[in-house]
Every structure is written in structure tokens, then in C-alpha cells.
Amino acid sequence: MAEAPIDFRTSPEHYRHWKLALEGGVAYLTMDVNEEGGLKPGYKLKLNSYDLGVDIELADAVQRLRFEHPEIGAVVIRSQRDRVFCSGANINMLGLSSHDHKVNFCKFTNETRLAIEDASHHSGQRYICSINGIAAGGGYELALACEEILLADDGNSAVSLPELPLLAVLPGTGGLTRLVDKRLVRRDHADFFCTTAEGLRGKRAREWRLVDRLVPPSKLAEETKKIAEETAARSARPKNAKGITLPRVDRQIDGDTIRYAHLTVEIDRGQRAARLRIMGPCAAPPADAAAIQTQGTAFWPLALARDLDDAMMHLRLNETEIGTWVLQSQGDGALVEAYDALLAREASNWLVKEIVLYWKRSLKRLDVSSRSLIALVEPGSCFTGTLLEIVLAADRSYMLDGAVEGSNLPAAMLRLTPMNFGAYPMGNGLTRLATRFLYDPGHVDELRKETGKPLDAEAADAAGLVTFTPDDIDWDDEVRLAIEERAGFSPDGLIGMEANLRFAGPETMETKIFARLSAWQNWIFQRPNATGPEGALKLYGTGKQSKYDRKRA
């Protein structure tokens, strides 16, 4: 019997592992993992350890706080368990999981950590971690995603990254990178810390910058509350604004077709490809931010972002052999441009800001998905502004030159809007246009002059916005060959190639995390020292000593 697909749709009333409480301007996210609530059978989530199901709830809570609670200016992450904060990713779960599930789990977990940091830096919801016991591995990595870490000074509470000494792997959700790039821990200190299974506590943990404050255990709750309330009071969040409710994303799965309100996914198992067809808006945008608030999640840019985000996660975790995503659109580019104009005009509104930030995160999720991305710009498509970012994110793009014989659809057009010049930076801190034209930064300034102009295939090609522009005669063959070629290559080789090529330009903490996850962790997770029959992951908890291949590669 086939396993039920992993569903990323949830809400607080369905949480099994987290408790969300609001007190004035502060939200308390309390971790209380249900041991019997694993996503799959075969393991228990002891000691507040987690699997993907725990992280799905956390990601949902982070998103809801941004949209549903503009009054919240600080978020506290803490544990319900006595003397245990979080023991990290569940080891038995990792030992039982397929390689692709482990890596996808790590990637989603990392995206959730980055969403926490994004909320702290851009949404005025600053995250604070209050550690009342052991924070090990992924548990400490969760703390590292917060902007302030409080540790109980009780001789027991400690932080650790024990993956190397205990499991023969690395902290898979950015731990090493956040340690030295974010918290600026000295390299020699970090080396000792990451090779000491029991971790560090008390004075040394603070002196080495692993935590920010030590608090007597009897005062931890009180001090956490005080700091959180002071932080919330300083937040620029609109304390009297009304949030919008995020209902469950509506979708229907019918065999190999997945239908959303503004997106259809069609899976071709023979070609190992999925066609994602985006539907543009059907009506003109509302007049202003107040009208956007009234529409809520029916507002087209927000509704589409939610559809696309859910589709990407569904395909990532449930359709791992579908290696190519063919990105298409259908609609009126002028309407998309009108929506972009509204987003730009109301950029100072808190809700509009959150919608744009959500698109930024969703496009980043597309960037780091280990799938070949091929964009098709066809007659009737609406790749304008925000949607043009999808074409710019693709590994290659095809734009049909002219109209299709026998069709009444107009020739394909692309259109730049102001949203292409800064609203949606990649993980490298640059726009997709700036990344595309690293060899000629001045070309981006020249493209600004083309803003709002419909660009046909010849003009788009001259502007460098597409890869190929076949005509009606060659279109079907060129597209078919591109998809078939991708299906014939090694998936491992493609993942490595694509991850290397997508992030040209400056390196940031974010690009380092995903590069190392895609390459180092991907490799280490498959090595016998970790996952072999006598590897550390397999023998963890048995009392047996792992047998390592001692050769350095």
C-alpha cells in the first residue's frame, strides 16, 4: 500500500507538537513534542526531538504570526519539558529515512529557520530563544535562528552541536555557518565546540558567544517575559492593525493533475517532468491597501504565492523522481503589471510588505529546489514583473517568436516592472537581473528604461531576458528535446551543477548554507561512515562502536 503524501497544510488547532499563546505584543511558541506523533511509523520523538511534521507546524506558526497578528512584535521560542529544550532531529527517524527524505527534510528545516530570521530582520517580529535545559544539534540550530538566546545558568542547561562526534555527519540546518557567520564565534572555539558531544554551558557558553545571556533558572520565565515585552514595545509593527486569517490552501489531486485556484500542475511520468501553469488575475486589482485587507487571501498575488509554495513542497517531498519543472503562465500581462503597480504604490503598508516578503521567500524556495527549471514563454502567457522573476529563476528559458499558426492568441510578450529591480533579492543579496548580468552591471540600469514596455521575442532576446527564441515550426521539437535531455542526465550531477550555477556573485550566509547542504551534507549522508550497516547513524543508541573508513578523501 502506497504511503499517504506528506501534507504541508496545517493550522494551530491541528498542532500536535507546538502551543501558540499570545500575550499583548508577545507570542510564545512552546515546544511540547508528542512522542507518538511522528510523521511516519518506526520511531518515537523522545526528548523534544523532531521530524518533518514538527517543522511543518513551526513553519505554519511563523507564517501565521506575520499575517494574522500585526500586533506581535516579539516571539519567544521555549520548551514545555523540564530540563530539555530540544534534542534536535530524531536520530532513529534519520536512520530509517531514505536519502532524499533526509536532504529534503534538512532543506525545509533550513528554509523555516531563514523565515524566522526574515521575520526578525524585515517584519519587526524579533525572535528570542529561552533555553531551559539541553539544546542539542537541531535544537541549538533552532536557537541560532533567533536573534537573542537566553540560557538557564543551572549547571545542567547546555548548547551543543554533537553531529560529528556522535553521528559522523554535520549540523544539517546551517549550524556551522550560523555559528561563525552570524554569531561570529572564533574558529578555534567553534572547532572545540563542534567536536565536544556534551557541548558547553554557563560562563564559557556566554564568553564564546554561543548564547547572549545567562539567567538563574528561577528567574528564566520572568526575565524572558521582560525582555520580550521590551522588544515588542520597540517594534515598528502596527499594533492596532487587524490581521488576515490564513485558511487552508485549497487543492484537488486527480491522478497526475493537481489543481489550485491559480495554478495547475500536470505530471508527465514518462518524461519525469511536471508542468506548472500559473493563471494570471481575472480582474483588475483593488484600489488600495484597505481593499487588499478586505480581500485577504483572495487577493491574487497572495493567493498565487500560497498555491505555488504548497505545490513546490508537495512536489519536492512526494514526487522525488519528477526531476524537471516546466514553468508556464496564462493570462493578461497588463493586469499583472497593474497588480505590481499596486504593490509598489502601497509598499509601506504592513500587509503589502508581508505579501512582497512572502513572494521573496517563495521565489527563493524555487531557486534552491533541486529540480531542473525550464520556463516557456508562449502566446497568451503573462510573465510580467513579479511573474517574470520565475523566468529569470529558470535554468533556461524558451520564448516563442511570433504567433502560432491557426491560433488567435497574440504573440508572446515579456514586461519588466519596478518589482524586478529590488523587491525580490536572491539568497546572494542581488536581484535576479543583477545576478544574470554580473558581467555588465550597467545593463540592469539600461533595462530600467524598458520598464512597462511589452517585449516580443526579438526584443527579449536582445535584452538578454531569455535563452532561446524558436519559431512556431521548431518550438515543439526544441522544448521536447530540452525536457528529454534533462531526464537522461544523472540527477545527482544535475543537482550539483544547478546549485553551483544559480548563485553567482557574492557569497552570503544563506548561499553558504544551501551550497553546503546540497554538496557536503548530501555527500556525507550517503557515506558508509554515517549510513552504512556499521555507520554512526545506524548504530546510534546500540552501544556499539562505529567502524569508519579512515581514508581522507
CB 424 within 8 A of CB 359: yes
1 belongs to a structural domain: no
Same domain (yes/no): 344, 440: yes
How much is the pLDDT for 37?
A: 96
| Inter-residue long-range contacts of 428-437, CB under 8 Å, 24+ positions, other chains counted | 428/503, 428/504, 428/505, 428/506, 428/507, 428/508, 428/510, 428/511, 429/505, 429/506, 429/508, 430/505, 430/506, 432/389, 432/392, 432/393, 433/392, 434/505, 435/503, 435/504, 435/505, 436/392, 436/464, 437/464
509 belongs to a structural domain: yes
CB 329 within 8 A of CB 392: no
Same domain (yes/no): 42, 169: yes
Of 90-94, 202-206, 268-272, 301-305, minimum mean pLDDT range: 90-94
Does 3 score more than 80 pLDDT? no
Same domain (yes/no): 37, 93: yes
Strand 158-160 to 213-215 pairing: unpaired
CB 12 within 8 A of CB 248: no
Does 87 score more than 90 pLDDT? yes
Same domain (yes/no): 229, 316: no
Q: Which three cell numbers stand for residue 273?
A: 517532468
Q: Kindly provide the b/e burial profile for residues 504-532, where b requires at least 16 CB atoms within 10 angstroms of the residue's own CB.
A: eeeebebbbbbbbbbeebbebbeeebbbb
65 belongs to a structural domain: yes
Same domain (yes/no): 514, 469: no
209: left (phi over 0), alpha (psi -120 to 50) or beta: left
Nearest-5° angle of CA 401, CA 406, CA 409?
60
Domain count, the chain: 3
Residues 6+ apart with CB under 8 A from 217: 132, 152, 153, 154, 157
Same domain (yes/no): 481, 522: no
Q: What is the DSSP string of 291-334?
A: HHHHHGGGSHHHHHHHHHHHHHHHHHHH-TT--EEEEEEES-HH
> pLDDT per residue over 265-318, tens digit each?
999 999 999 999 999 999 999 999 999 999 999 999 999 999 999 999 999 999
24 belongs to a structural domain: yes
Phi, psi of 190 (to 5 degrees): -65, -40
Q: Which three cell numbers stand for residue 504?
A: 553567482
Same domain (yes/no): 170, 33: yes
Mean pLDDT (whole number) for 66-90 = 97
Of 79-83, 288-292, 404-408, 469-473, minimum mean pLDDT range: 404-408
Does 523 score more than 70 pLDDT? yes
> pLDDT per residue over 214-244, tens digit each?
999 999 999 999 999 999 999 999 999 999 9
Of 51-55, 422-426, 488-492, minimum mean pLDDT range: 488-492
3-state secondary structure of 50: strand
How much is the pLDDT for 519?
A: 65
How much is the pLDDT for 526?
A: 81
Q: How confident is the model at residue 549 (pLDDT cuts 50, 70, 90)?
A: confident
CB 153 within 8 A of CB 215: yes
Residues 6+ apart with CB under 8 A from 11: 60, 64, 246, 248
CB 397 within 8 A of CB 377: yes
* Domain stop point among 207, 234, 261: 234
Q: Which three cell numbers stand for residue 70?
A: 500585526
Angstrom distance (rounded) from CA 5 to CA 333 = 35
423 belongs to a structural domain: yes
Q: How far is CA 409 from CA 331, 332, 351, in A?
A: 11, 11, 36
Angstrom distance (rounded) from CA 543 to CA 523 = 26
Residues 6+ apart with CB under 8 A from 417: 337, 340, 341, 344, 384, 385, 386, 388, 451, 452
Q: Which residue has the cell 486569517?
A: 245
Does 38 score more than 70 pLDDT? yes
Same domain (yes/no): 165, 311: no
Amino acid letter, 129: C
Q: pTM value?
A: 0.96
Same domain (yes/no): 196, 225: yes
- Containing structural domain, residue 201: 12-234
524 belongs to a structural domain: yes
125 belongs to a structural domain: yes
Nearest CA-CA partner of 61 in 121, 112, 7, 129: 112
104: left (phi over 0), alpha (psi -120 to 50) or beta: alpha
> Tell me, what DSSP letter sits at residue 414?
B
Q: Kindly provide the b/e burial profile for residues 161-183, where b requires at least 16 CB atoms within 10 angstroms of the residue's own CB.
A: bbbbebbbbbbbbbbbbbbbbee
Same domain (yes/no): 423, 506: no
Residues β-bridged to residue 254? 257
Does 1 score more than 60 pLDDT? no
**Cβ of 73: how many Cβ atoms within 10 Å?**
26
Same domain (yes/no): 484, 508: no
* Domain stop point among 490, 511, 531: 490
Of 135-139, 265-269, 544-548, minimum mean pLDDT range: 544-548
> pLDDT per residue over 244-266, tens digit each?
999 999 999 999 999 999 999 99
Mean pLDDT (whole number) for 18-46 = 97
Q: How confident is the model at residue 201 (pLDDT cuts 50, 70, 90)?
A: very high
Q: Which three cell numbers stand for residue 409?
A: 492568441
Angstrom distance (rounded) from CA 108 to CA 318 = 13
Q: How confident is the model at residue 521 (pLDDT cuts 50, 70, 90)?
A: low
> pLDDT per residue over 318-365, tens digit each?
999 999 999 999 999 999 999 999 999 999 999 999 999 999 999 999
Same domain (yes/no): 282, 173: no
Residues 6+ apart with CB under 8 A from 449: none
How much is the pLDDT for 404?
A: 86
**Cβ of 263: how many Cβ atoms within 10 Å?**
20
Does 78 score more than 70 pLDDT? yes
Nearest CA-CA partner of 479 in 275, 217, 314: 275
Terminal CA-CA length for the chain: 41
Whichever domain contains 160, its CATH number is 3.90.226.10
Q: Which residue has the cell 510564545?
A: 28
452 belongs to a structural domain: yes
Angstrom distance (rounded) from CA 452 to CA 414 = 9
Nearest CA-CA partner of 90 in 141, 44, 129, 123: 44
Nearest CA-CA partner of 144 in 171, 106, 183: 183
How much is the pLDDT for 518?
A: 60
Of 160-174, 212-226, 306-320, 479-493, minimum mean pLDDT range: 160-174
